[in-house]
């Protein structure tokens, strides 16, 4: 029942206006025009459209039925446009997959046409979104208002993609691409949000000065809160970021990770001669005794397993990232334990396979320089103390707790904000009372940070009027709702392209691309459709001339640099090289 089987030869379908009279007179045929179009139901087919005209008022009448199927002067129907848009942005399919899928529907399409349709899809969606702004505002007002979350993402030298999202409905309201996160660049973006949706109840963001200053300028006096996760991340980074960097550099200097991996491979060769040896070690541990038949090879299996355990330390994280996860510190602590336990195992009288040195002695020898590194040892002790204090603050703030494993999806415990506030207050007071902390510059800075952001950390609940009466809204303590959104952009990009870098994608991406995520919100989709049954019907309502103008603007706004010029401008001596080149050329011409 595929289109290619139903229509082995391209059919031709005739279209004309349903209106036959105007100004009390019959319409006349102005012209008949032909083109090839493609829809998902039929595939490619020929169109012959009769255009009618009124001789009295010069009114032009075209087929409404055809206009609902395909945009004017376009080949691909609205259903193909939306199919491509969803396939790329929501289903993460690549060009090859889309070409194959459309081919099965009797539609031939190229990669360049897919890129064009994808851009066109975003423009249609953005225009429909803007046209729906009043209804979105009304919907948020019924709930008592909206809480604006602001955040941006970038990659390398790419522009900053900034988004504003309502916490309550989880609808992305507005997007923009900025060269930087300075206040002067963000202010126009916030003014657009204010004009479309009025003032929010509150604003939640990270600790960026640009965002904070812009919010104060556009929404003066409005409650402004900072994300607890971002606050803790900055506190921890300032507190023991230096120690972490030194530990990482010293471990790299000793090359201990590579050395251990090499030794593990050597142990593995010995173990491979005795299949099941490592499994025997596990069984011996469970049974509490060593089988006599495996006793001779057990030291190698043990050393092999312990070395792998040490390397595994770098992976023992909770998914929060630094400073919540400290893989280099954990790795060193495991190395230290490995060294200590292998020293003990050396002294235990165990048979060693003939022709091989004691594997525990070998491991200790490999680790000795790293473990005896005084600078490394000193920084580890300093970092351990600071980590202990930092983890106390994490527990007081009831978020990213060391005992939790939610990673970046952690929105914090569902605790009363007054209880959290009191816990942080007690933590701060303990630091102030203890001279070890109150006189230490690193902890003093920590206390100053807590004091500086105190009012922005603890948001009191907001009482608002809704259609059902008064309602109390508690702003979220984190900006994770937008962080997850940006991580999803990266994940989908990685799935589609196979690369992790977003730099080129962000440069080429239209600013309104994040609006596609609203399509997964049923409430938003109902608002956007505005009574229509499908997106195809909704997009057909949008003026095609406006779409063409937006496409032209997107081409004009693109800052593409020719590839060869891009190579040239990376040369440090480019000016001198050009001067020498032209000087040489002009002398040659003069001689001629």
**Does residue 396 share a domain with residue 422?**
yes
Give the three-class secondary structure for 261.
helix
Q: What is the dihedral of CA 582, 584, 587, 591, to 10 degrees?
A: -130
Indicate if the alpha-carbon torsion angle 247, 243, 317, 387 is positive or negative: positive
Say whether pLDDT at 52 is over 50.
yes
CB-count exposure of residue 297 (10 Å: 0-12, 13-18, 19+): buried
Q: How many CA atoms lie within 13 A of 588 on its CB side?
A: 6
Three-state SS sequence of 373-421: CHHHHHHHHHHHHHHHHHHHHHHHHCCCCCCCCCHHHCCCCCCCHHHHH
The reported pLDDT for the residue numbered 404 is 60
**Does residue 283 share a domain with residue 185?**
no
The reported pLDDT for the residue numbered 4 is 58
Residue of 254 and 480 predicted with greater confidence: 254
Give the other-Cβ count within 10 Å of 183's Cβ.
Answer: 19
**Does residue 411 share a domain with residue 455?**
yes
Helix intervals (H) in 90-151: 95-103, 111-131, 133-142
- Tokens 């991580």 label which residue? 487
What value does the mean pLDDT take over residues 252-257?
95
Say whether pLDDT at 487 is over 60.
yes
**Does residue 112 share a domain with residue 8?**
yes
Lowest mean pLDDT among 38-42, 203-207, 255-259, 370-374: 203-207
Give the other-Cβ count within 10 Å of 96's Cβ.
Answer: 10
| Domain range enclosing 287 | 239-380
Q: Are strands 43-53 and 60-61 parallel, antiparallel or unpaired?
A: antiparallel
Contact in structure between 26 and 34 (CB atoms under 8 Å): no
Residue of 363 and 285 predicted with greater confidence: 363
**Does residue 485 share a domain with residue 413?**
no
What value does the mean pLDDT take over residues 168-195?
92
User: How many domains are there within the chain?
Assistant: 4
CA distances from residue 393 to 299, 389, 426, 441 in whole angstroms, order as listed? 43, 7, 10, 18
What value does the mean pLDDT take over residues 479-507?
62
Say whether pLDDT at 353 is over 50.
no
Retrieve residue 118's tokens: 């994808």
Helix intervals (H) in 348-373: 359-371
Q: Rounded distance, CA 48 to CA 38, Å?
A: 14
Q: Rounded distance, CA 331 to CA 328, Å?
A: 5
The reported pLDDT for the residue numbered 345 is 85
> Nearest to residue 513, comparing CAs of 536, 531, 497, 493?
493
> Nearest to residue 547, comparing CAs of 132, 213, 121, 262?
121
* Cross-strand pairs, 362: none
Q: Give Cβ neighbours of residue 3 (< 8 Å, ≥ 6 apart).
A: 41, 42, 43, 105, 106, 107
Q: CA geometry: angle at 387 spanning 383 and 390, to 5°?
A: 140
The reported pLDDT for the residue numbered 407 is 47
Q: Are strands 147-153 and 202-205 parallel, antiparallel or unpaired?
A: parallel
Residue of 307 and 501 predicted with greater confidence: 307
**Does residue 246 share a domain with residue 200?**
no
Indicate whether 541 belongs to any domain. Answer: no
Say whether pLDDT at 198 is over 60.
yes
Residue 81: band (very low, low, confident or very high) from pLDDT cuts 50, 70, 90: very high
Indicate if the alpha-carbon torsion angle 431, 433, 436, 441 is positive or negative: positive
CA distances from residue 154 to 162, 177, 489, 508, 555 in whole angstroms, order as listed? 9, 10, 11, 13, 21
Q: How many CA atoms lie within 13 A of 436 on its CB side?
A: 5
Say whether pLDDT at 481 is over 80.
no
**Does residue 389 share a domain with residue 401?**
yes
The pLDDT tens digits of the residues spanning 214-245 come to 999 999 989 888 888 889 999 999 999 999 99
Contact in structure between 194 and 164 (CB atoms under 8 Å): no
Give the three-class secondary structure for 318.
coil
Q: Rounded distance, CA 228 to CA 457, Å?
A: 7
Residue ending a domain, among 79, 105, 128, is 128
> Nearest to residue 231, comparing CAs of 486, 455, 489?
455
**Does residue 492 share a domain with residue 428?**
no
**Does residue 95 share a domain with residue 53?**
yes
Indicate whether 477 belongs to any domain. Answer: yes
Q: Rounded distance, CA 66 to CA 47, Å?
A: 9
Residue of 322 and 287 predicted with greater confidence: 322
**Does residue 370 share a domain with residue 270?**
yes
Say whether pLDDT at 408 is over 60.
no
Say whether pLDDT at 122 is over 80.
yes
Indicate whether 540 belongs to any domain. Answer: no
Q: CA geometry: angle at 91 spanning 87 and 93, to 5°?
A: 65
Q: Give Cβ neighbours of residue 231 (< 8 Å, ≥ 6 apart).
A: 207, 449, 453, 457
Average pLDDT of the chain?
A: 85
- Calculate helix-pair angle for 417-433, 374-397, nearest 10 degrees: 140
Q: Percent of the chain having pLDDT more than 70?
A: 83
Retrieve residue 553's tokens: 């603007």
The reported pLDDT for the residue numbered 559 is 46
Retrieve residue 198's tokens: 């009025």
What value does the mean pLDDT take over residues 180-186?
91
DSSP state at residue 517: G
The reported pLDDT for the residue numbered 484 is 66
Residue ending a domain, among 128, 154, 181, is 128
Q: Rounded distance, CA 235 to CA 238, Å?
A: 5
Q: Give Cβ neighbours of residue 261 (< 8 Å, ≥ 6 apart).
A: 311
Indicate whether 546 belongs to any domain. Answer: no
CATH number at 189 reads 3.30.420.10
Say whether pLDDT at 147 is over 70.
yes
- Tokens 């609808």 label which residue? 171
Residue ending a domain, among 476, 495, 529, is 529
Give the three-class secondary structure for 109.
coil
**Does residue 218 share a domain with residue 149?**
yes
The reported pLDDT for the residue numbered 153 is 79
Say whether pLDDT at 338 is over 70.
yes
Give the three-class secondary structure for 138.
helix
Retrieve residue 88's tokens: 């790329």
**Does residue 91 share a domain with residue 119?**
yes
Kindly calculate the radius of gyration of the chain based on its CA atoms and give it in whole angstroms: 33
Indicate whether 556 belongs to any domain. Answer: no
DSSP state at residue 293: G
Indicate whether 59 belongs to any domain. Answer: yes
Indicate whether 524 belongs to any domain. Answer: yes
Q: Rounded distance, CA 518 to CA 513, Å?
A: 10
Residue of 276 and 350 predicted with greater confidence: 276
Residue 354: band (very low, low, confident or very high) from pLDDT cuts 50, 70, 90: very low
What value does the mean pLDDT take over residues 513-521?
90
Indicate whether 535 belongs to any domain. Answer: no
Say whether pLDDT at 577 is over 80.
no
CB-count exposure of residue 69 (10 Å: 0-12, 13-18, 19+): buried
């Amino acid at each position: 029942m595929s289109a290619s089987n139903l229509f082995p030869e391209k059919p031709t379908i005739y279209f004309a206006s349903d209106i036959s009279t105007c100004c009390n007179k019959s319409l006349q045929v102005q012209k008949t025009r032909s083109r090839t179009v493609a829809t998902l139901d039929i595939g490619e087919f020929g169109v012959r459209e009769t255009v009618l005209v009124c001789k009295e008022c010069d009114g032009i009448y075209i087929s409404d039925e055809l206009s609902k199927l395909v945009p004017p002067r376009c080949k691909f129907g609205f259903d193909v446009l939306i199919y491509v848009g969803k396939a790329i942005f929501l289903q993460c399919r690549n060009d090859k997959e889309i070409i194959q899928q459309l081919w099965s529907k009797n539609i031939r399409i190229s990669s360049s046409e897919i890129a064009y349709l994808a851009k066109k899809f975003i423009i249609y969606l953005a225009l429909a979104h803007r046209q729906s702004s009043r209804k979105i505002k009304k919907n948020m007002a019924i709930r008592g208002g909206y809480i604006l979350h602001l955040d941006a993402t970038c990659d390398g030298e790419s522009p900053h993609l900034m988004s504003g999202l309502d916490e309550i409905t989880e609808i992305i309201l507005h997007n923009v691409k900025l060269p930087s996160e300075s206040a002067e660049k963000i202010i126009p973006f916030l003014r657009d949000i204010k004009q479309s949706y009025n003032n929010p109840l509150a604003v939640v963001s990270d600790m960026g000065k640009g965002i904070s200053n812009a919010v104060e300028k556009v929404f003066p006096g409005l409650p402004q809160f900072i994300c607890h996760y971002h606050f803790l991340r900055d506190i921890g980074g300032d507190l023991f970021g230096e120690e972490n960097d030194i530990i990482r550099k010293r471990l790299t200097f000793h090359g201990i990770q590579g050395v251990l991996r090499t030794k593990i491979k050597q142990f593995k060769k010995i173990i491979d001669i005795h299949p099941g040896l490592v499994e025997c070690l596990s069984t011996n541990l469970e049974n509490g005794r060593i089988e006599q038949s495996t006793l001779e090879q057990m030291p190698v299996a043990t050393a092999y397993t312990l070395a792998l355990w040490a390397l595994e330390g770098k992976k023992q994280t909770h998914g929060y990232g630094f400073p919540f996860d400290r893989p280099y510190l954990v790795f060193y602590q495991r190395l230290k334990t490995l060294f200590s336990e292998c020293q003990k195992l050396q002294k235990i009288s165990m048979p060693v396979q003939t022709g091989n040195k004691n594997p525990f002695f070998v491991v200790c020898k490999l680790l000795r320089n790293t473990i005896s590194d005084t600078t490394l040892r000193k920084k580890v002790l300093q970092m351990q103390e600071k980590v202990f204090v930092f983890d106390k603050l994490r527990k007081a703030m009831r978020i990213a707790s060391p005992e939790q494993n939610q990673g970046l999806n952690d929105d914090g415990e569902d605790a009363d904000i007054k209880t959290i506030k009191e816990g942080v207050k007690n933590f701060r007071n303990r630091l102030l009372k203890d001279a070890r902390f109150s006189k230490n510059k690193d902890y003093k800075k920590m206390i100053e940070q807590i004091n500086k952001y105190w009012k922005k950390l603890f948001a009191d609940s907001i009482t608002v009027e809704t259609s059902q009466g008064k309602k109390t809204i508690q702003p979220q303590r984190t900006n994770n709702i937008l962080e997850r959104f940006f991580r999803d952009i990266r994940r989908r990009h990685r799935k589609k392209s196979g690369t992790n870098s977003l730099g080129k994608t962000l440069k080429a991406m239209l600013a309104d691309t994040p609006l596609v995520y609203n399509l997964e919100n049923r409430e938003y989709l109902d608002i956007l459709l505005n009574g229509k049954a499908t997106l195809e019907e909704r997009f057909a309502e949008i003026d095609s001339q406006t779409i063409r103008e937006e496409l032209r603007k997107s081409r004009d706004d693109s800052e593409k640099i020719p590839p060869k010029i891009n190579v040239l401008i990376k040369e440090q001596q480019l000016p001198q090289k050009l001067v020498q080149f032209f000087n040489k050329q002009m002398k040659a011409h003069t001689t001629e």
